[in-house]
Every structure is written in C-alpha cells, then in structure tokens.
Amino acid sequence: MLDQILERLNFSAWNEMQEQALKTFRKEDNILILSPTGSGKTLAFLLPILESLDPASKSIQSLVIVPSRELALQILQVFKSMKTPYKVTVCYGGHEMRVERNNLLNPPAVLIGTPGRLVDHINNKNIDLGQVETLVLDEFDKSLEFGFEREMNSIISEVSRVKKRVLTSATHTVKVPAFIGMDDYAKLDFSGDQIPKRLALKMVRSKGNDKFEAVVKLLGKLGNEPVLVFCNHKDAVARISDLLHHRKISHETFHGNLDQDQRERALIKFRNGSIRILITTDLASRGLDIPELRYVVHYQLPPNESAFIHRNGRTARMESSGTAYLLLAEREQLPKYLETVPEEEELPENLLPEEPEWQTVYISGGKKDKINKVDIVGWLLQQGSLEKEDLGRIEVKDFGSYVAIKRHKVDGLIPVIMNEKLKKKKVKVQISG
C-alpha cells in the first residue's frame, strides 16, 4: 500500500525522516520526532499509523491530538490525499458539534482533534477511545504552551490500551511530561541547525520608536512576494492592521481571537494571492497549510530563540532559501540569541505595496452540493465569459467555494453570473470579505 500512496502523492521516494519513522515504529513503542516546520512530519506519523490499521476493526484505532484547528485540518487533508479505504474524522473548536457527533456515529479508524473539543466529546460519550492502539501528540509542546495539559491528561487517561506513542515537535530542547507515559523512547532528531544556513538575516532600523513607517517601506520594497509579519501580541496585530487599512494597503490578520471562519478566509486569500501581507502572532509559525515563503518579518522581536526559529521556519525550508527581517526601533538592541549582527537593509522612500492582481470570490456551493473544481471552472468560463488565465487557485469546502479571479474582472463578472445556476443549484456569489 505504501508504494501506491507514494505514487498518489506524486513522490519519487520518502524522505530520510519518514523512512526512519517507519523503521522505528515497527520495533519501538515510543517515538519522539524532532524536525522543523515543513519537513514532512505529518507523513512521518501517518505512514506508520496506516501500516498498523486493521481493516476489520469498527473502532477508533488511532488518535492524533493537535494544538490548533488549522493543524487538524492540514493533517486531515494529507490523510485524504493518500486515498486509503479508512475513515478519518476531525474535531475542533468552532466546528458544529452536531456535525461532528453525526460523523462519530460510525467511528473512524483515525480521529484527529484539538484537546478541548476531544474532552467535550468524551464527556458527552460521543467517542470511545478504549480500543485506540496508536496515540500521536503532534506539536505537543505547543499544546502545552497553549495551556492544554489538563485536557491532554484527561484524554490520555481514556486510551487504556494504547501500544504505540508518537510525539512530534519542532523544538529541539523540548521535555516530555510524565503524564504522557513515555519514560523510555526512541528519539529521531532531524532538527538540524538552529538557524538554517540558507536563511539570510537582515535588520531594519526605524526612525524613533514607532516601527510602522519602516514596515510599510519594507513591504513596498518586497514587492509582489507574500510575507508574514510577526508580532508578539494580538493588540499589535490589530494596531498595524488599522494603520494599513487607513493607508488602503491590502492585508489580512491571523490570531487566536478571530473565529474559525475569519481565520480560514485569511489563509485562503493568502494562499491564492488575493492578499500578500498576513499580520500575525506566533500562531502562524507552525501547523498552517500555506506555501513556503521567501520572506518573514519580525515586527516585534520574539521573546526567545525557540520562537525565533519557529517563525523563520516559514522560509528557507528544505533546499530553498529565504530572508528574515528584524525590525528594530532606533535604540532597540538585538536579541542575545543572535551570534552575529545582521546586515542592515536600506529602505526606499514612499514606496507602497502594490495591489494584488487576484481577488477572492465566494460561491455558496461546495462538496456537500456535489460541486467540484471542474464544475466551477466550466461555469465561470461559459457563464462568466472568463478565460482560463483569469482563474487562479480554487478551494472547494463542504458548503462553499473560494475562487481567485483577476481583480480587474471581478466587478463585471458578479452581475453576469449572479442569476446563473451552478450544477442546477442557485448560488450566491460575492467578493470574499
């Protein structure tokens, strides 16, 4: 089956970490995998899980606990892309409890969930974890950092028959808590250099203590490239966003106070190029399904080296190169964890970021309506009189779809297709807010 999955994923071979994880899982009960963001950790634990599943079982066999809904959905998509015969279900806060409860009536082979929501299902007797044999705690240090220790402890007490435990982290200094029950384990350390050799570090000095003008100039200099701008606090994200709105500079924000729909729309628009600037907290440093970037910007310097490494992990992955910019106030000192002084970047005057060429259009029809990407493309070309080059990335969700369309075509398109049925369904079409 693994050879078939390799072909379905269009890979020539598994990477070294995935190979080692498979071999180690076959002979060890407890494994700790240390590897940076974007290195393939998800497959490193999904492949061994797949080997261990019993097709005759009608119970939940493997449980994957994750710190965030975005990571849960990302793992779900990877598992589905493998096209196995096994059912997989995802549970997370912000998702309708009723929908999840109905999905759990027929227990999946693999259950993926965030700690709080899993505890809710346990308390409501929607799930029975008594037959789980493989437990995965993905980015487990992040779950602890988010304050989920009590929930994780409660969940682990339910998996009384677990035979295999897999923990993953991007942090090389991580400690395994006693309540997980891993006194002895095999460690696969692929964390490598703390700061990748392919990562260029540069710094930008602002005039005075307010860095906003400096970041606007820097974003203008980076041009059409997507960029993550990291802040330490949600208040800073909101302040920068307000100022960018005042300048009419397209962007989105991403942090823990936004609801699930807001966060999902922000990521969709970032992925499809409708926005190039995402202002975020460290929530975006791990576990998100976004393309590799050339640039990250530290608007506020991270409090420690670990946070610095995770933010930078969004660029310079695998064989690619990237640049991380440190924004410093006039008298601000460099962090002690930097061994060298980064090169200082000169900024242009009065150069604003350009408007993206794409804009996201929402269509109120999705997978549950038997609508797919091919249907949407045909509909927009025929009924909307668009050309193929006018269409960008399309994402079809359960109850709606998001399409990147050339910005200059959108205003004329919506009135034309507003009353046209898509696959015999009357749909609402609007610019995604």
Give the tens place of pLDDT for each residue, 54-113. Answer: 999 999 999 999 999 889 998 999 999 999 999 999 999 888 899 999 999 999 999 999
> For residues 318 and 330, which has the higher predicted lDDT (pLDDT)?
330
The percent of residues above 70 in pLDDT, for the chain, comes to 97
pLDDT for residue 197 = 62
Give me 337's structure tokens: 């964890």
CB of 69 closer than 8 Å to CB of 92: yes
pLDDT for residue 324 = 92
The percent of residues above 90 in pLDDT, for the chain, comes to 65
Class of domain 2-189: alpha beta
Tell me the C-alpha distance between 219 and 227, whole Å.
8
Residues 6+ apart with CB under 8 A from 95: 69, 117, 260
Of 227, 226, 360, 268, the residue nearest 73 (C-alpha):
268
Angle at 100 between CA 73 and CA 133, to 5 degrees: 75
What is the rounded average pLDDT of the residues 391-404? 94
pLDDT for residue 128 = 96
Give me 336's structure tokens: 């002690």
pLDDT for residue 316 = 60
Tell me the C-alpha distance between 251 and 215, whole Å.
13
pLDDT for residue 213 = 92
Question: 279-305, pLDDT tens digit by residue?
Answer: 999 888 876 777 778 899 999 999 888
Tell me the C-alpha distance between 367 and 373, whole Å.
10
Q: What is the mean pLDDT of the chain?
A: 90
Give me 278's structure tokens: 């995402």
Domain ranges for the chain: 2-189, 199-344, 358-431
Tell me the C-alpha distance between 195 and 307, whole Å.
12
CB of 339 closer than 8 Å to CB of 345: no
DSSP-assigned letters across all residues of 232-248: SSHHHHHHHHHHHHHTT
- CATH number for the segment(s) 358-431: 3.30.70.330
E strands, 281-412, are 295-298, 322-328, 343-344, 358-363, 391-396, 401-406
> For residues 37 and 117, which has the higher predicted lDDT (pLDDT)?
117
- Residue 192 pLDDT level (bands cut at 50, 70, 90): low
Does residue 307 have a pLDDT over 90? no
Give me 250's structure tokens: 């397209």
Residue with tokens 């949407």: 376
- Residue 317 pLDDT level (bands cut at 50, 70, 90): low
Which strands form 401-406's sheet, in the order they lie side by side?
Answer: 391-396, 401-406, 358-363, 429-431
What is the rounded average pLDDT of the residues 378-403? 94
Residue 217 to residues 153, 192, 251, 274, 312: CA-CA distances in angstroms?
Answer: 47, 34, 15, 20, 21
CB of 77 closer than 8 Å to CB of 149: no
pLDDT for residue 270 = 95
Does residue 196 have a pLDDT over 60? no
pLDDT for residue 8 = 87
Does residue 205 have a pLDDT over 90? yes
Q: Give strand pairing partners of 324.
A: 201, 296
Strand-strand pairing, 322-328 and 199-205? parallel
What is the residue type of 221?
A: K
pLDDT for residue 312 = 86
Tell me the C-alpha distance between 204 and 221, whole Å.
12
pLDDT for residue 193 = 47
Q: Give strand pairing partners of 402.
A: 362, 395
Give me 64's structure tokens: 């994957």
DSSP-assigned letters across all residues of 347-379: --SS-PPPPPSEEEEEES--GGGT--HHHHHHH
Question: 248-285, pLDDT tens digit by residue?
Answer: 999 999 998 888 889 999 999 999 999 999 999 988 88
Question: 140-187, pLDDT tens digit by residue?
Answer: 988 988 899 999 999 999 998 999 999 998 777 678 989 998 889 999
Tell me the C-alpha distance between 130 and 162, whole Å.
8
Do 2-189 and 358-431 come out as alike in CATH topology?
no
- CATH number for the segment(s) 199-344: 3.40.50.300
Tell me the C-alpha distance between 315 and 338, whole Å.
18
Of 430, 418, 258, 255, the residue nearest 360 (C-alpha):
430
Tell me the C-alpha distance between 42 and 37, whole Å.
10
